[in-house]
Amino acid sequence: MSRVFITGSADGLGQMAARLLVEMGHQVVLHARSAARAEQALRAVPQAQTALVGDLSSIAATKALAEQVNRLGRFDAVIHNAALGYREPRRVATVDGLSQVFAVNTLAPYVLTALIDKPKRLVYLSSGLHRSGDASLDDLAWERRPWQGAAAYSDSKLHDALLAFAVARRWPQVLSNALEPGWVATRMGGAGAPDDLQAAPKTQVWLAVSDEPAATVSGGYFYHMKPRDTHPVLRDVAVQERLIEACEGFSGVRLPD
Residues 15 and 9 sit within 8 Å (Cβ to Cβ): yes
Which residues touch 24 (CB under 8 Å, ≥6 apart)? Answer: 205, 209
Among residues 86, 110, 124, 153, the one annotated as catalytic is: 153
44: number of Cβ within 10 Å: 17
Distance CA 73, CA 49 (A): 13
Distance CA 225, CA 37 (A): 30
Distance CA 140, CA 128 (A): 19
Residues 150 and 129 sit within 8 Å (Cβ to Cβ): yes
113 three-state secondary structure: helix
Among residues 63, 86, 157, 221, the one annotated as catalytic is: 157
Establish whether 63 is a catalytic residue.
no
Establish whether 153 is a catalytic residue.
yes
Q: Report DSSP state, residue 132.
A: G
Residues 125 and 204 sit within 8 Å (Cβ to Cβ): yes
Among all residues, which ones are annotated catalytic? 153, 157
